[in-house]
Amino acid sequence: MNILDIINKTKRSEPLSTKEIKWLVKSYTDGEIPDYQMSSWLMAVRINGLTDDETVALTLAMRDSGDILDLSCIDGITADKHSTGGVGDKTTLVIGPAAAACGVHVPKMSGRGLGHTGGTIDKLESIPGFSTDLPFSRFAEIVNETGFAVISQSGNLCPADKKMYALRSATGTVDSLPLICASVMSKKLATNAACLLLDVKYGSGAFMKTSEDAKKLADLMERVGIAAGKKVKAEISDMNSPLGKAIGNALEVKEAIEILQGKITEGYLYELCIRLTADILMLAGKGSDEECLAMARDSISSGKALNVLRRTIELQGGDPAVCDDTSLLPQPQSHYTIRASSDIKINSIDCEELGMVSLILGAGRISKEDSVDPTAGIIMECKVGDKIASGAPIMRLYSTVCSDFADAAVRAQDALNYTACRIATY
């Protein structure tokens, strides 16, 4: 086998064998294939695509390039959840405890945020004392006790994906369905839970901009996961508006806790969390759709899910009192309120741009080495379709590292598409 033959076959849309794909991934990971030749193959894939069989083979070869977690030490059914990224997405902080309260074990390995999307690790580390740097044995002990724990991604999990993703970013080959699928699914299969729920987002704040493209990716990931022997379900969700009101680490933790406290019992974020929790329960064989939806709602209304989160926080070194008093979360030193200058109607929101605003405020990072301000972020006081009276707040900006909100405020307001309207007064 040689790399030129493989490049030429993919250029001609001739399917590669599983053996050829395994050789390709291993040789590149081991440094035997140079970046310029792998870039050529990736571009051929970007142009011509891969068959389902090739995508499965690529995913499994990438999974097998590093560690695969052994979850046999965790008692009961294990489930994992993956979101394709978004703005204000704190669903893991609700879904994990809720599913655990219903008897499903959720051992979650997550990453930090980069660019306009936030990371679950960053959110949890805004809780005073909370540690995601745990030995795997301790991680498993916590999952066995509470049903839910979150740790940082292993340094040797899917090294092939780390190399290939960096190369894709530098060569304009990120937006390829089989390459996206292999990247996501190789990591999820390496974490090795029995059940896998995929939350595939579309819209202005997501990588997939249309529901049609999101469905194509979701269907492909489902097929690959099932071919790998997992129970898999993919949901398509809208990211044309921030998910909930809060964008930013401590702000999102507060909103998630308020759902578990029963203070938020309606709206898109709440309903999506219920839907996704029910999907996990169904994958785990806990009942019908109707039964699992009822179990998901009860896990929150009864306070059981909040108890799971409280105990998990305690066992991971954090202050469990935040579950009863969210003012114990880090508080910003500065804030700024953007108000409507006239009566307006919100027509659309550029979610990605709001994510970039939160990054400017300190909530995100441009490079992996950057630190984040746990207090920074945005609270939305409007959603698409709302009519806002002149002088009423549109959104509130928060930060500790940023005291001059002028640039951020301009960008935040420009992220809204609105028109003048007349609001009746009585």
Catalytic residues: 82, 161, 168, 183, 187
Place of tokens 């960008």: 411
Helices marked H in 147-197: 159-171, 177-191
Q: What is the dihedral of CA 251, 257, 263, 268, to 10 degrees?
A: 70
Q: Please answer whether residues 409 and 397 qualify as being in contact, where contact means their C-beta atoms are separated by less than 8 angstroms.
A: yes
Run of H or E residues at 265? none
Pairing between strand 377-380 and 393-399?
A: antiparallel
Rounded alpha-carbon distances, angstroms, from residue 313 to 42, 154, 266, 346: 42, 20, 25, 38
Maximal CA-CA distance, the chain: 79
Q: Please answer whether residues 87 and 117 qualify as being in contact, where contact means their C-beta atoms are separated by less than 8 angstroms.
A: yes
For residue 154, the 8-state DSSP code is P
Q: Please answer whether residues 151 and 132 qualify as being in contact, where contact means their C-beta atoms are separated by less than 8 angstroms.
A: yes
Rounded alpha-carbon distances, angstroms, from residue 241 to 8, 73, 88, 215, 265: 43, 40, 9, 19, 19
Task: State the DSSP string of 272-301.
Answer: HHHHHHHHHHHHTT---HHHHHHHHHHHHH
